[in-house]
Amino acid sequence: MTGSRGKLFARALAAAAGLSLMAGVGAAEPAPAGPSVEALSFNCYTCHGPDGRSPAAMPSLQGKHADYLLRRLLEFKQGKGHPTIMDRIARGYSDEELADIAAYIAAQTPSTGERR
Ligand code: HEC
């Protein structure tokens, strides 16, 4: 029994290693110690659309200035402007991470070239 459990464990480990390898593919630079700014920003895209370009009612982030994005994020962190969810999200990041995310998102260009 121990043998087959060991095999299962080894397979799970191999799968996990494969996943983390896949996560590394497509990153522009080698990942730093913490999650990359790209990975942090992907959390935002679940609501704000791919590359921050929202197709629906959610405000788009794409095309907005890094300074503007950072100011809004810091305001959310302080609970300003009656946010529904962004205050909770912004509090999960350090000011430095928010600045990195704002800069990263602001650097993304629209993939289609259509009006933002
Ligand atoms: C769960 C969905 C959700 C996620 C995840 C999310 N946002 Fe938001 N975001 C919102 C909503 C909703 C608003 C409108 C303000 C509010 O109600 O909180 C908003 C507003 C904003 C605004 C203001 C836009 C403007 O034009 O003033 C910025 C900037 C922003 N989000 C950045 C981010 C960043 C950066 C992340 C990732 C760290 C992120 N959001 C993750 C839902 C989300």
Q: Could you give all domains of the chain from N- to C-terminal order, each with its CATH number?
A: 37-106 (1.10.760.10)
Q: State the pLDDT at residue 91.
A: 97
Cβ contact 106:77 at 8 Å: no
pTM: 0.74
Task: Let me know: does 46 contact 35? Beta carbons within 8 Å.
Answer: no
- Local confidence pLDDT in tens for the 116 residues of the chain: 555 666 666 666 555 555 555 555 555 655 557 889 999 999 999 999 988 888 888 999 988 999 999 999 999 999 999 999 999 999 999 999 999 999 999 998 665 545 44
For residue 103, give the DSSP letter: H
Rounded distance, CA 72 to CA 102, Å? 10
What's residue 116's pLDDT?
45
Round the CA-based radius of gyration of the chain to a whole number and report it: 18
Centroid of ligand 1 to alpha carbon of 111 (angstroms): 20
Nearest CA to ligand 1 atom 40: 44
Name the residue of 38, 86, 116 whose CB sits within 8 Å of the most ligand 1 atoms, as the mutation to test its pocket. 86
